[in-house]
Structure 1
Amino acid sequence: MTDQPNEVNPPRAESLMPGDERNAPSPMPGGMVGLMPDKPQKSYSQGQLVRRRFFRHKGAMVALVVLVFITLLAFTSIGIGPIPGWWGKNYTSTGSAIDGGRPTLGWFTIGEHPFGQDTVGRDFFARTMRGTQISLIIAFVVGIGSTIIGTVVGSIAGYFRGIIEAILMRLTDLLIIIPLLVLAAVISARAGGSGIWALALVLAAVTWTSLARLVRGEVLSLREREFVSAARAIGTHPARILFRHILPNTIGVIIVSTTFSISAAILLESSLSFLGFGVRPPDVSLGLLISEYQNAFTVRPWLFWFPGMFILAIALCVSFIGDGLRDAFDPRQNRKGD
């Protein structure tokens, strides 16, 4: 009876039949016969892994391309400030409505007024692009501002605990129990006439509460880790421990929350402008355009649909990007090819 190959008696090279070369053990140094070592895997840093995972997220990549296209279209078409754009019409210039103000946009043609004209002959493409500019500026300022406030409040409350945590968390709870739309409407009613930057800062001041609670929870967990105890033992200043050792480990939660804050800010600003508490004429935003032309929905629906589609597209794009970032930063997911 033929002995079966095992670890004690490995198969001899001369005993292999012709055609079995692919099963033959590879010779090792010193005349030994064994298996070749596995090819070493390329190692990546944490940042490289996150970037690779994000770029492989198809939904996030498509959303990123669409968002960049919308942003470039809005800011290059009519320009911004003293910088002119390639679209020759102004969003405030009036005139006579051609063909009832119907859109001239076709499958292969743009025409003179691709999005049509409003009741006083203003080019609606220029007005929509201006509204997109204002909505994007407000959304990103609100997202970044609320992230800074929420991160600072949550990290200080989670690390120092005691009376500091009690004061900051009770303030956070107070803002949470007040309906956000009502609170934003009351405060922005005074700031709306001061310009879009004042309005954005007001909205940032009332939308940081969710992130503050998330960051506080992360800091409470991290402050008990060994590397934080070691930093305390050698006399490291608490501010350095907090901002150099703890907060970098919460960057995933912060970035993902920022993207969702931007998406929520788009909808919040549109709601406030629709109710008359946001951007004020003669300036425009996407929400204000919908509010101005809501009565024209049955006779001139394009005045309602174009701003609405841009609001929907921006909000969806930012949400998909947030989903991609969340998946990229989540270490618990099993991914092939990392």
Structure 2
Amino acid sequence: MSDSTHPTATAGGTEVAPPPSEPAQPTNERSASLWADARRQLLRDPVFIVASIYVLLVASMAAFPILWTRQDPRACDVQRTRIPPSWEHPFGFNNLGCDYYSHAIYGARPSLQIAIFATLGIVLFGGIAGLLAGYFGGWVDAIISRITDIFFSLPFLLGAIVFLTVIKQQNVWTLAIVLIVLGWTTIARIMRGSVLSSKGLDYVQAAKAMGAGHGRLMIRHILPNAIAPMVVYATITLGAFVSAEATLTYLGVGLQPPEESWGIMISQHQVYFLEHPWLLLFPCGLLVGTVLSFILMGDALRDALDPKLR
């Protein structure tokens, strides 16, 4: 039996060494991780791109309103009450004679602030609760699940109205806290389910067998694999909280004048809809566009992060 490591004989009796094997060519194959695939898919999704651009524009209104208008929203003149839109004032004037366009631009800040603070709060609180419940199980899961059920039983809108009426102080922080208290339960349920499906994976069991502690297992091995559904839900929740702030403000328990807010604009000018419909259409258009953009971004993220939908 011949060995490939030794010379081989030809028909003429001359021994000839076999040709050396070619070295393996380096490959530049890209990482096929879930997040890399999702990023490539999102960059090719026109719906996600358009929705992201709209959200970025609204975010720039909230962060840098001076880039969008030089008008002072509180510089009012009653002689200009409800003047229709013009080239110099594209949204016209409100019932107090204030530039309506500047009100709309400055009204983006409190709406986005409340939505961002509330979403960060439910992700942090609900994510930790769901992670602990799913990982430890047993009595920890039972206690957290029963607490979650109690908060689930509270009607969201009615609970927010009651809490804000009792607090009697409506500002960005109180609205965000109320939304966190009533909104963390779904995130906790989503995270718990993701952790339950991830903690039994082979690489998690291997890390556990090698002596990894609870903290390392949860943070380094389980959380990265379980966080995708929570990111999708948090993106959609941003839009839901923008809508919730406008709803609570419209009902009189949210932000109060002289604060600028889309909800305040809608509440103050609903009675003028038949005579001056643009006073209601402009803030409603901005509100609907923002909420819809967050929802479309969340749907696109869900499709990109779920391999079964590709």
TM-score, normalised with respect to structure 2: 0.86
**3-state SS of paired residue (2:307):** coil
Q: How does 1:233-244 map to 2 (within 5 A)?
A: 233-244=209-220
**1:203 counterpart residue number:** 179
Indicate yes or no: 2:89 matched with 1:101.
Answer: no
**Distance of aligned partners of 1:99 and 1:90 in 2 relative to their CA distance in 1, 3 Å threshold:** closer
**Distance of aligned partners of 1:75 and 1:218 in 2 relative to their CA distance in 1, 3 Å threshold:** closer
Structure 1 residue runs without a partner (length 5+): 1-29, 31-39, 80-84, 105-109
- The one-letter amino acid paired with 2:75 is S
**1:60 counterpart residue number:** 48
Indicate yes or no: 2:234 matched with 1:258.
Answer: yes
CA distance in 1, matches of 2:136, 2:235: 28
**3-state SS of paired residue (1:235):** coil
**Range moving further from structure 2, 278-287 or 65-74:** 65-74
CA distance in 1, matches of 2:168, 2:293: 27
**2:246 counterpart residue number:** 270
Q: How does 1:184-203 map to 2 (within 5 A)?
A: 184-191=160-167, 193=169, 195-203=171-179
CA distance in 1, matches of 2:225, 2:184: 20
- The one-letter amino acid paired with 2:45 is H
Indicate yes or no: 2:300 matched with 1:324.
Answer: yes
Q: How does 1:223-234 map to 2 (within 5 A)?
A: 223-234=199-210
Identity %: 33
Indicate yes or no: 2:286 matched with 1:298.
Answer: no
Q: How does 1:56-95 map to 2 (within 5 A)?
A: 56-77=44-65, 79=66, 87-95=69-77
- The one-letter amino acid paired with 2:196 is L
CA distance in 2, matches of 1:313, 1:191: 31
Q: How does 1:273-292 map to 2 (within 5 A)?
A: 273-292=249-268
Indicate yes or no: 2:154 matched with 1:166.
Answer: no
- The one-letter amino acid paired with 2:123 is T
Q: What is the RMSD computed on CA atoms of the aligned residues?
A: 2.2
Q: Deviations over 1:108-139 (max 9, x none)?
A: xx31x211111221111111112111111111
TM-score, normalised with respect to structure 1: 0.79
**3-state SS of paired residue (1:70):** helix
Aligned to 1:309, which of 258, 268, 285? 285
Q: Deviations over 1:286-311 (max 9, x none)?
A: 11211111111112211111110011
- The one-letter amino acid paired with 2:241 is A
**Distance of aligned partners of 1:96 and 1:168 in 2 relative to their CA distance in 1, 3 Å threshold:** same
Structure 2 residue runs without a partner (length 5+): 1-18, 20-26
